[in-house]
Amino acid sequence: MARPLEGIRIADFSHVMAGPFASHFLALMGADVVKIEAPGIGDPMRNYGADRRYDGMAPAFIAANCGKRSIVLDLKQPGALDVAKRLIRSSDVVLENFRPGVMERLGLGYEACRALRADIIFCSVSGYGQSGPMRDYPAIDNIVQATSGMMSVNGDPDGPFMRIGFPAVDTYTGTLAAMSILGALLRRAQCGEGQRIDVAMLDAAMVLTATAIVPHLVTGQALPRTGNVGFSGQPTAGVFTAKDGASISLGVVQPVQFERLCDVLRRKDLLTHPDFQTPDLRRRNAAALCAVLAPEFAKRDGAEWERTLSEAGAPCGLVRTIAEAVAMPNLGERGVVTPLHIAGLAEKEDVAAIGAGWTTSSDGPRIDGPPPRLGEHSRTVLRELGYGDAEADALINAGAVREGGR
């Protein structure tokens, strides 16, 4: 048996995060992702962050590039352009996230690629799409969090707007791009036709924020910012402090869950209290209910509350640090946190990465190996494309192709 994308090749011209995160999913499902990088530092994400010991293999680069192969091409040189065209001819998908128009100027736009392979799937990822008045605006994650309205719904009601603390737009854009490519591959299997796909970070951010945007579209009213209180606005969907100082997050939003919470707290009197009998009353009298609940949660440690309330059917979770979260044993058992060996990596070579986030009964997604060093597979890919050793040497000596390695 085989994973669903084994035998599928991706010519990946993308860099930084949104594009590489898309091909990350495809690689996990078995696709051969050939990463085309520029001479010099290659993908800028290789050197992301302040710790220069990780240059070439920065942690953020590892997150989106495991199991891929790297070839370095100077696409301004005719010899390298010929290599790129041969690679595209042998590929099922072209993925790129340059500014709109760059691939066309290189001679590798959709029409040029379709001339090389009629059923090619060509996916472009950009900030604001391949058309429209914002087409040429530069964009990175925090900018799109701002322009999409996403920042306006984060933070405390009386505080400043707040960005999500990781590149949520980048990663979600990559997820949507991967899904769109899978859809195009299925369509091609049915009708034999390729497709051009246009994925925009702004569009993806709007989709990600749909549960806040659609209420505005329906009612004309903006949702209030609720800080650490859940989407429901219920005070029992907020954060409380346990006896040991740990923070616990409740998700008690349904009447039956409130009953279970009161039962565990041994405060069934709250069920008949005139201020707390219904969700609307609890929302209206949130401060008073929190004042009652806070001393109750100070009676037990956080881990005990998480276990006791969860077992009773009243949703509760410890607020964990990243270090505490990745140490949870079920994540390793489910393959979410996957051991990874990267030879020569700073500090330690045995680390871990994050998998696909789902499991299957057979042939599931997996990380096949570490990210490639810059140009690590240049000569191998040239051979696969039909270049002899002398031809490969000539391309490398001319600087059209660069070799790298471990």
Distance CA 258, CA 314 (A): 7
Residue partners of 57: CB distance under 8 A and separation at least 6: 46, 342, 344, 345, 371, 373
Q: Is residue 30 left, alpha or beta, with left meaning phi > 0 and alpha meaning psi from -120 to 50? A: left
Distance CA 92, CA 118 (A): 10
Cβ pair 42, 373 in contact under 8 A? no
* Phi, psi dihedral angles at 110 (to 5 degrees): -60, -45
Q: Which listed residue (170, 263, 275, 368) is catalytic?
A: 170
Task: Confirm whether 170 is a catalytic residue.
Answer: yes
**What's the N-to-C CA distance of the chain in angstroms?**
32
CA angle, residues 112, 115, 120, in degrees to nearest 5: 90
Cα 22 to Cα 82, 244, 378: the distances in Å are 25, 41, 22
> 10 Å Cβ neighbour count for 212?
18
| Pair of tokens at residue 329 | 């044993």
| Pair of tokens at residue 405 | 């390695």
> Catalytic amino acids?
170
